[in-house]
Amino acid sequence: MKNILKLLPLVVLLIVVIIFKKDISNFVVEKIIFSKEIYISTPNDYHLDYDFEYIKETDDFVAKNKEQVLDILYTILNNGTNNFYFYCDYDDCEKDVDYLTESHQLININNYVHPYNNYRRVNIDVNSFGKVEMTIEKLYTSDNINSINNKIDEIIKEILTDDMTNKEKIIKFHDYIIDHTTYDSNYLNINLNDIDNPSHKALGPLFFGKALCGGYADVMAIFLNKLGIPNYRISSESHIWNFVYLDNNWYHLDLTWDDPVTDNGSNIRLDKFLLITTEQLEKINTGYHTYDKSVYLEAK
């Protein structure tokens, strides 16, 4: 009888835990887990401090809606963080995280980030307490970055002068890349999905003389960021190009379409997509420059 009486409090406690399991879980999450402040590590050298309409950095890593998840993901990528976690504090958060990371939306976020902080692969795990853990594999290695930086610095020293305006500098670099690069149409026909091919990155135009649209856009973005000129990349379903803030206005800049493939293999340089407005871009109507204007708000 005494043994039964000793077990009685444990049985009562077990029943209480079963009945109020959800309430106890919520209490633990809200009062213990969420009460801990989460800090992101010091931003790396390629953090961008630009103001955009669609997305912004945050220091609140407990998401209460989809927009906050979006800002958290942007903050993590923009700071160059490799491993990080945050918390969900609303019912559909896990579904929103899956949607944002598995759809084109994560690519859109990536376009607002310096190419050196772009992801190659992102692994995400969400546990039952709403903790979202992220591991980010970068697109560019440290060796890639050193080589690219040195090469672009050499080009800047070779073709630019201090008395040039930013517009003149952009035009000079635009012309240089096109004159030294051809569109990698052979690779396009073989395996477009090989993200490790140099033509997809700034390595292609700088060291191999070949590029796909990703390579053209990345090398221009890296150059613009070196000059401190606000910019991001815009992507459609099948194309990517640059968008540049210059003289208080935003302009499209597409090196890929200014470096056309010719029948005889000759290298032609155009300026049809060199710092043009959205209105001008839409009049050209290539069919490849249709993008989500609810994301790239400055390009409406």
3-class DSSP state of 140:
coil
Looking at residue 296, what is its pLDDT?
A: 98
Cα–Cα distance between 223 and 148 in angstroms, integer? 10
User: Tokens in use for 246?
Assistant: 């210059």
Looking at residue 8, what is its pLDDT?
A: 56
The CATH number corresponding to 142-299 among 3.10.620, 2.30.30, 3.40.50, 2.40.50 equals 3.10.620
pLDDT in tens, 86-141: 999 999 999 999 888 888 899 999 999 999 999 999 999 988 888 999 999 999 99
Confidence of residue 9 (pLDDT cuts 50, 70, 90): low
Half-sphere exposure of 148 (CA within 13 A, CB side): 22
* Domain ranges for the chain: 37-138, 142-299
Cα–Cα distance between 188 and 211 in angstroms, integer? 10
Average pLDDT value for the chain: 89
Cα–Cα distance between 58 and 52 in angstroms, integer? 13
As a whole number, mean pLDDT of residues 11-17 equals: 50
pLDDT in tens, 146-202: 999 999 999 999 999 999 999 999 999 999 999 999 999 887 666 666 778 999 999
